Structure 1
Amino acid sequence: MTALVDWLVLASAPGLGGVRISRILEHVTPAALRAMSAEELTGIGMTPRQVSHFRQPPMAKIDRCLRWDSQPGQTILTLDSSHYPALLKEIASPPPLLFVRGEPHWLLQPQLAIVGSRSASIDGREAAYEFAAALVAAEYVVTSGLALGVDGQAHYGALKNGGATVAVLGSGLDRIYPAKHRELASLITQQGALVSEFWPDEVPRPQNFPRRNRVISGLSVGVLVIEAAQKSGSLITARYALEQGREVFALPGPIHYPGSRGCHALIKNGAKLVETPVDIFEEVGALTSCVKNSHSDESLAQPENEKLPFPALLANVGSEATPVDVVAERSGQPVQEVMMQLLELELLGMVTAVPGGYIRARRG
């Protein structure tokens, strides 16, 4: 508890951003900062206001966070926590604290982000849902920003197909935004996690959302953009992903539709054009392995997240019956080979034969 207090004091210091905090932590621990004299704090570049903060922290605010952390299903992860996501820790300004509602272990699993327009077309919303279903079938956690449109459909696509999803908020977790997604947020806590770097009572502010976007990309091995205007938050997420060394994918659309322009601009600038989920899996293998290896502790392993055989094939079997020849065409494999793989998956209880083809079997 004492260590968490030290981190809360550091994170609440006025005028200390993520980059500055990262530099400070290269030389001194949060506990050591609290023990420093005013002269020592001034000597490492703290302003008079910051010195006053460390000498007299806002304990009422900090106590509220400690009470929040003590509630069932709520956790505050510090940058030195074993549950802090390894990929996020590598970005230029990792949040010193992550407030989590739900299961923190989902943050340790390989994640793929799906982001896009709040006012997406029917096709765009369907694509978000279908790609999310395919990603969870291949044992990825789907990460997005809880916004209306593409984000919401991505979350639903993961949840309704038996997978897990992470929603990163631009507000505190006690101030769910948008309000229309409060029920969705509740579902996510049962089958994933809500995450924010903002303190629980923080209201949504415009300047919070670019910070939210860097966390979405920072958590993920890749980012798929589905419908985006030329100036949009989704393109900010894509830019952060490139800066962080993540893969960026874009779904093309009709050339005269405004929502296609952002995706087409990304493709022109080097993002991978995506037509099927297999296009994504071909690119993210190395970083996915890095995530899995960084959290190999058996106590964190979840049976439902063990690597499944034939992920490219599984990605093309969803909740609706898919004929064998369609699965073969989508996965780029001979029909005979696909039939053998489907038989093995059926014996393992991962797919089910139904009239018209195969469907993905729900796990757990």
Structure 2
Amino acid sequence: MTRAAGRVGAALAQPDELDAWLRLVHRTGVGRGTLRRLLAALGSPAAVASADDAALRVLVGERQAEALRQPPDDHAERVAATGAWLAGHPQRRVLTLADADYPPALLQTADPPLLLYLQGRSELLAAAGIAIVGSRKPTPQGLDNAHRLATELSRAGWTIVSGLATGIDGAAHLGGLQAIGSTIAVVGTGLDQVYPRAHRALAQRIAEEGLMLSEFALGMPPLQAHFPQRNRIIAGLTRGTLVVEAALRSGSLITARQAAEAGREVFAIPGSIHSAQARGCHALLREGAKLVETVDDILEELGTQPRQATLDLTIAHAAVLPSVAPTDDDEVLRALGHDPATLDALMARCGWSASALNVRLMELELDGLVARLPGGLFQRRQGA
């Protein structure tokens, strides 16, 4: 896949440039493949918009040429909303297929997005990434595996990529945020939306310490058809995809197969033969995925060391991020108090096992009530 001619500025600062890209991309009746062919042939969205009818009919046919002549629904409103969104935060960008910063790994896939909305550390797009995906209803062991492996990979400098869903995705993002690799959340909505709502605090933390990414226009709700499209980006951004837990009919298997089709590695964690959540992983293993028991199984397969990221996790982050409503009803929060504490200290106070306490602490992290700090410490967030 080659880039369209020309280079687009980092935030599409020119109103006419933004207008041209949004007019081209967010329309009905013309697919992404057709739009990429037009850009390759004509060079830019502005050139597509000014092309005469005869040229368009030769390139895409009568029906799609007519569709290209019609502006997308609510186009003026979308341009204004996108401009206001970009102006609202210095780490927001609209990245296009023509931009020199477009991620090379994604460019090499069969269906790279024409346009990406970003908020956060856009330099993570150039980092070596590993996708970690799995069930929205995982077992406690699955949650622990996802968080532990994501943390270890992030410590080794790998950026963790996932889809912000409940369950395995959330645990993977949290693990990525613990170390230098950080995390990228690829979502199936506009970046002004958060889905699921329970991950509002997590999404804000990722926007500050990692990167939020979407190809969908601002205001776009979570439609079912969007998630397979999102999955191809998760697979395409990364060197490999790890499936932690998945049923046989799972979106995670779609992501894994899209990774294989893009020539990327596929990894899977085996489970009990009696567990429905292990059957998807077992199916991938039968198809040739690499079995994973420890992080070394992944690192040995990928071989080279990634570019080192620079993420400074400090206690200050925990103090400024928003939290959900305070509560004193939770046993673990009561045991934690308001000073940082180790897992061993909490085990002594609660009388819980390490595995049960780790799962509950992860749930409290996802709710925005607890922060996991460097040095194996946990701290109750301000207001919790």
TM range (shorter): 0.7 to 0.9
Query: Would you say 1:261 and 2:279 are equivalent positions?
Result: yes
| Residue of structure 2 aligned with 1:232, choices 243, 247, 250 | 250
Shift of 1:360: 8.6
| Residue of structure 2 aligned with 1:45, choices 55, 60, 63 | 60
2:42 is aligned to: 28
2:81 is aligned to: 64
Query: Would you say 1:270 and 2:284 are equivalent positions?
Result: no
Q: Structure 1 residues 179 and 303 mapped into 2: Cα distance closer, same or farther (>3 Å)?
A: closer
Query: How far apart, CA to CA, are the structure 1 residues paired with 2:151 and 2:110?
Result: 31
Unaligned ranges ≥5, structure 1: 293-300, 306-318, 322-358
Q: Structure 1 residues 51 and 20 mapped into 2: Cα distance closer, same or farther (>3 Å)?
A: closer
1:143 is aligned to: 161
Letter in 1 for 2:58: G
Letter in 2 for 1:126: D
SS at match of 1:27: helix
Shift of 1:145: 0.5
Query: How far apart, CA to CA, are the structure 2 residues paired with 1:304 and 1:146?
Result: 20
Shift of 1:239: 0.8
Query: How far apart, CA to CA, are the structure 1 residues paired with 2:279 and 2:118?
Result: 34
| Residue of structure 2 aligned with 1:111, choices 125, 129, 139 | 129
Report if aligned partners of 2:159, 2:184 keep a CA contact under 8 Å in 1: yes
2:30 is aligned to: 16
1:250 is aligned to: 268
Shift of 1:54: 5.7
With the length of structure 1 as denominator, give the TM-score of the two structures.
Answer: 0.77
Per-residue CA deviation, residues 175-229 of structure 1 (Å, 9 max, x unaligned), is 1100000110000011111111100110001100000100000011100000100
SS at match of 1:167: strand
Per-residue CA deviation, residues 296-334 of structure 1 (Å, 9 max, x unaligned), is xxxxx96569xxxxxxxxxxxxx989xxxxxxxxxxxxx
1:204 is aligned to: 222
Query: How far apart, CA to CA, are the structure 1 residues paired with 2:293 and 2:153?
Result: 14
Query: How far apart, CA to CA, are the structure 1 residues paired with 2:283 and 2:123?
Result: 35
SS at match of 2:42: coil
- Runs ≥4 residues deviating over 6 A: none
Per-residue CA deviation, residues 248-277 of structure 1 (Å, 9 max, x unaligned), is 000011111111100011001000001111
Q: Which moved more, 1:60-69 or 1:123-132?
A: 60-69
Shift of 1:159: 1.6
For this pair of structures, how many residues does the alignment match?
A: 300
Report if aligned partners of 1:112, 1:141 keep a CA contact under 8 Å in 2: yes
| Residue of structure 1 aligned with 2:115, choices 82, 97, 117 | 97
Q: Structure 1 residues 56 and 175 mapped into 2: Cα distance closer, same or farther (>3 Å)?
A: closer
Query: How far apart, CA to CA, are the structure 2 residues paired with 1:240 and 1:70?
Result: 35
Query: How far apart, CA to CA, are the structure 2 residues paired with 1:180 and 1:280?
Result: 30
Query: How far apart, CA to CA, are the structure 2 residues paired with 1:56 and 1:119?
Result: 37
1:290-301 to 2 correspondences below 5 Å = none
Shift of 1:161: 4.0
1:345 is aligned to: none
Q: Structure 1 residues 55 and 303 mapped into 2: Cα distance closer, same or farther (>3 Å)?
A: closer
1:127 is aligned to: 145
SS at match of 2:211: strand
2:198 is aligned to: 180
Shift of 1:38: 3.2
Query: How far apart, CA to CA, are the structure 2 residues paired with 1:58 and 1:148?
Result: 33
The Cα RMSD (Å) is 2.5
Unaligned ranges ≥5, structure 2: 1-13, 313-341, 345-374, 378-384
Report if aligned partners of 2:145, 2:244 keep a CA contact under 8 Å in 1: yes
Per-residue CA deviation, residues 81-108 of structure 1 (Å, 9 max, x unaligned), is 1221110111111110001111111111
Report if aligned partners of 1:79, 1:95 keep a CA contact under 8 Å in 2: yes
Query: How far apart, CA to CA, are the structure 1 residues paired with 2:170 and 2:246?
Result: 15
SS at match of 1:44: helix
Query: How far apart, CA to CA, are the structure 1 residues paired with 2:297 and 2:23?
Result: 45
Shift of 1:5: 2.6
Query: How far apart, CA to CA, are the structure 1 residues paired with 2:130 and 2:174?
Result: 15
Q: Structure 1 residues 53 and 163 mapped into 2: Cα distance closer, same or farther (>3 Å)?
A: same
Report if aligned partners of 1:42, 1:51 keep a CA contact under 8 Å in 2: no
SS at match of 1:112: strand
Report if aligned partners of 2:235, 2:241 keep a CA contact under 8 Å in 1: yes
Query: How far apart, CA to CA, are the structure 2 residues paired with 1:32 and 1:119?
Result: 48
Report if aligned partners of 1:250, 1:271 keep a CA contact under 8 Å in 2: yes
